[in-house]
Amino acid sequence: MTSLAESWGTLDQVRVRVPAKINLALCVGGRRPDGYHELATIFHAVSIYDEVTAISAPTGISCEVNGPLADRIGSMEDNLAYRAACLLRDEYGVSQGVHLTIDKRIPVAGGMAGGSADAAGALLACAHLWQVGANQQDLLALAARLGADVPFPLMGGCAVGLGRGETLTPALSRGVFHWVLAFAATGLATPDVFARFDQLAGTAKSRPARPEVPRALMMALVAGQTDRVGGLLVNDLQAAACSLNPALRATLAAGREAGALGAIVSGSGPTIAFLAADEPAATDLAVDLSSRGVAHEVRLATGPVPGATIMG
């Protein structure tokens, strides 16, 4: 496989655009010995993006976050993009430094893999900047070490995720899907949502040890049947997310009443994705939801879109 370093010259900075994700299906199985749950999910990359810029520095690694969501990011050492750069440096014995800047647009703790997207963007940008000779499979392996959601933003498109979500298989999907995304004012912590899921589910033995994504949904994606896709969206964590943030129930109901083909909490929430029939229907739905005041912010998006992409 061709390495990323082929034909590169000396670089001063590299800018990468990386997409958010929604989960069209999130099926949760039993708890594993390592404490995590076995998952089967369908990832779908959508046109909400962060941009990660890697700027050459003599030594050291630093990171800053810009944009309207910057004040919701923790310390530099807690930033997953910073940890990604450190991992790549250590793995390849890089002596050069880097300063990362993140233009933050993907919601924080919103169930859209915003932090994971930044880590994926940092891996690609630093690999390109430092010319380490890593190919995509190399970066995907490093991404899995950083977190279960980090590999997918590198891949993009549509994919089935197994294990904790880090074992990816590209999935066929025909056509363009139009989404209306309803953002909440505050986020939900993924561990809290899984803890509530366990409380609600109890010790039910009916949960499969190895869940599977719905075959009917996969077939609808391949056929590009938007209406069928809307009716088959499923998230086993949705009840837990709504239990922690009851206002989500009103948002879900409002979107359905306004004509959405499907409505689902993305991942561990609280972002809600509404599927519309086409672009005009999505615009009408967004206006309706905004007028009802049932979300902190409403944005339009399409998918699937490519994964992390070098912009310059």
| Per-residue CA distances from 125 to 51, 88, 101, 152, 312 (Å) | 10, 11, 11, 16, 10
Q: Which residue has the tokens 């969206």?
A: 233
The Cα 40–Cα 34 span in angstroms is: 17
Which pLDDT value is given to residue 48?
97
| Tokens encoding 212 | 């599977």
Which pLDDT value is given to residue 206?
62
Alpha carbon dihedral 300, 304, 309, 312, in 10-degree steps, equals -40
The Cα 146–Cα 209 span in angstroms is: 24
Choose which CATH entry (3.40.50.1950, 3.30.70.890, 3.40.50.620, 3.40.50.300) describes domain 177-303: 3.30.70.890
Portions of the chain given CATH number 3.30.230.10: 13-171+305-310
Residues designated as active site: 21, 149
User: Counting Cβ atoms within 10 Å, is residue 29 exposed (0-12), middle (13-18) or buried (19+)?
Assistant: middle
CATH topology of domain 13-171+305-310: Ribosomal Protein S5; domain 2 (3.30.230)
Please compute Rg for the chain using Cα positions: 19
Question: Angle at the Cα of 111 (from 311 to 141), degrees rounded to 5?
Answer: 55
User: 247: which residues sit within 8 A by CB, 6+ positions away?
Assistant: 184, 294
Q: Which residue has the tokens 């300063």?
A: 99
**255 close to 289: Cβ distance less than 8 angstroms:** yes
Average pLDDT of adjacent 10-residue blocks, the chain of 312 residues:
38 94 94 88 97 95 81 68 96 95 89 94 97 95 95 97 94 96 90 92 67 96 96 96 95 96 94 97 96 92 97 80
pTM above 0.95, yes or no: no
The Cα 264–Cα 266 span in angstroms is: 6
Which pLDDT value is given to residue 312?
67
**107 close to 187: Cβ distance less than 8 angstroms:** yes
> Residue 191, Cβ neighbours under 10 Å: how many?
10
SS3 label, residue 220: helix
| Tokens encoding 96 | 């050069």
Portions of the chain given CATH number 3.30.70.890: 177-303
**159 close to 169: Cβ distance less than 8 angstroms:** yes
Among residues 263, 291, 243, 306, the alpha carbon closest in space to that of 21 is found at 306
Which pLDDT value is given to residue 108?
83
